[in-house]
Amino acid sequence: MIENKNQSRTSLSELGEFGLINHLTQNFKIQHKTTIKGVGDDAAVLEIKNKQLLVTTDLLVEGVHFDLSYMPLKHLGYKAVMVNLSDIYAMNGIASQITVSIAVSNRFTLEAIEELYEGIHLACNAYNVDLVGGDTTSSTTGLLISITAIGEAKKEDIVYRNTAKPNDLLVVTGDLGAAYLGLQVLEREKRVFEVNPNSQPDLTDYSYLVERQLKPEARKDIVKILKDLDVKPTAMIDISDGLSSEILHICTQSKVGCNLYEEKIPLDPQVISTCEEFDLNSTTIALSGGEDYELLFTISQEDFPKIKGNPHLTVIGHIADESVGANLITRAGQQITLTAQGWNALRD
Ligand code: ADP
Ligand code: MG
C-alpha cells in the first residue's frame, strides 16, 4: 500500500465542477484507436468495426460496498475498475473504455479524490483501457462510484452463461475464498483499533488475503490464455458472489445440473490456515465468500488435453443433466445440494 505523500487539504469548492473534472482527467492518455473522442464533449465517440459491443456497469456505495476506514481510496479506484473489467472478460471480450461517475460530499478534499483517480489511472494503464467520460456530482454524506466498462469481441468469440452442455468440464481460474477472509481480517483489525488506537496491525500472515480484498486483479490473462490454447469455453461467468451462486447461474440459465467435487476446489495455503484460526470451513468460504473475481467456465471434454496441467486452471467438476441437480460431492463422498448461500448441510 502506498501512503498519500501530499498532505495538503484543498476544498473541492475551490476548483468548481469543471476545474475538478479537468484536473482529474488531464493525465489520462487515449490508448485505443476505437476511442475517437474521450472526455470533453457531451458524449464520447467510439468506432468499433465488425465487432459486437459489450457494456457493463456497477455502482459502489460507501458503507455498503466499501469501508474507507481500511480501504485506501487509491485501492478503491483500482478495485472499482477491476469489478467492471472482470465482467467484460467473463464474456471472453477485450475491455477498451470506461466511464467513471462519482458523487462526493464536502467531507472529501481534492487530494482524496486525486487518490481515487490515481487508482483508476493505474488500472487503466495496467489493463489498457481508456477513460472516456463520466459524471461528477455532490452527495450529502458518503461517496458513490459508478463505473461503466465497454468492451468488444468478435461475435463468434463471445461466451454466454446459458450454453453449458451435459458432460462439459467445470473449470475455475486461480484460487477461491481469499478476498472474503481478507475482509474478515481487516474488520478484526478495525475492531482492535477502535479499542486501542495505538495498536499497529501485523498483517504478514494474511498478506495474500488482504491483497485479494484490497487489490484484486481481473483475469484479462485468461482470455488470452484460452485463445492461445485454442479453447472456447461453452459457458462462462465471473465469480463475484461466490462459487456456489455462480455455478447455479450457469446451471439455471443453461438448464443443466452439475457435480462439483469438494476436494478439487483450489485454496491458497493462507486460506486454509486462516480458516482454521477463525474456525471457519474453507469449503463454505470458497463457495459463498465472494469478491474473488476469478472466472468460472465450462469446456467440452475434448478440450481437456489443451488445458491439462495449466497452473491457472483447475477442473472442479462436470456438468450433468438438469435432472441430476446442482451438487457438491464432499471429500467423504456424500452428495449435497448446492444453494446460493453455500450448501444445505450448513444451514440451520
Ligand atoms: P454534461 O453536462 O454533458 O453532463 P459534464 O460537465 O458532466 O457534461 O462533463 C464534461 C465532460 O467530462 C464529459 O465528457 C464527461 O463525460 C466528463 N466527465 C464528467 N465527470 C467525469 C468524471 N468524474 N470522470 C471522468 N470524466 C468525467
Ligand atoms: Mg454531467
Question: Taking the domains of the chain in order of start, what are their residue ranges?
Answer: 12-157, 169-337
The answer, yes or no, to whether any atom of ligand 1 lies below 6 A from the CB of 39, is: yes
Q: What is the mean pLDDT of residues 178-201?
A: 91
Ramachandran angles phi, psi of 110, nearest 5°: -60, -40
Grid coordinates belonging to 234: 461453452
- Please check the confidence at residue 161 and state whether its pLDDT lies above 70: yes
Gap from CA of 81 to ligand 1 centroid (Å): 17
Three cell numbers written together for 178 = 481469499
- Cα–ligand 2 centroid distance for 132 (angstroms): 13
Could you tell me the fold of the domain covering 12-157?
Answer: 60s Ribosomal Protein L30; Chain: A; (3.30.1330)
Q: How far is the CA of 136 from the centre of ligand 2 (A)?
A: 6
Relative to the alpha carbon of 133, which ligand is closest?
1
Q: Domain 169-337, what architecture?
A: Alpha-Beta Complex (3.90)
Residue closest via CA to ligand 1's atom 8 equals 42
Tell which one of 135, 143, 148 to mutate to probe ligand 1, the residue whose CB is within 8 A of the most ligand atoms.
Answer: 135
Give the distance, in angstroms, between the CA of residue 124 and the centroid of all CA atoms in the same chain. Answer: 15
Whether 344 has a pLDDT exceeding 90, the answer reads no
pLDDT at 138: 93
For residue 345, the model assigns a pLDDT of 42
pTM: 0.93
User: Has residue 97 got a pLDDT over 80?
Assistant: yes
42 lines ligand 1 (CB under 6 A): yes
Q: Which residues contact 270 (CB under 8 A, 6 or more apart)?
A: 178, 181, 205, 206, 207, 208, 209
Q: Tell me whether the CATH fold assigned to 12-157 matches the one assigned to 169-337.
A: no
Inter-residue long-range contacts of 273-277, CB under 8 Å, 24+ positions, other chains counted: 273/205, 274/181, 274/184, 274/185, 274/205, 274/206, 274/209, 275/177, 275/181
To the nearest whole number, what is the mean pLDDT of the chain? 94
From the CB of 102, is ligand 1 less than 6 Å away? yes
| Ligand 1 atom 20: residue of nearest CA | 135
Give the residue-averaged pLDDT of 182-194: 92
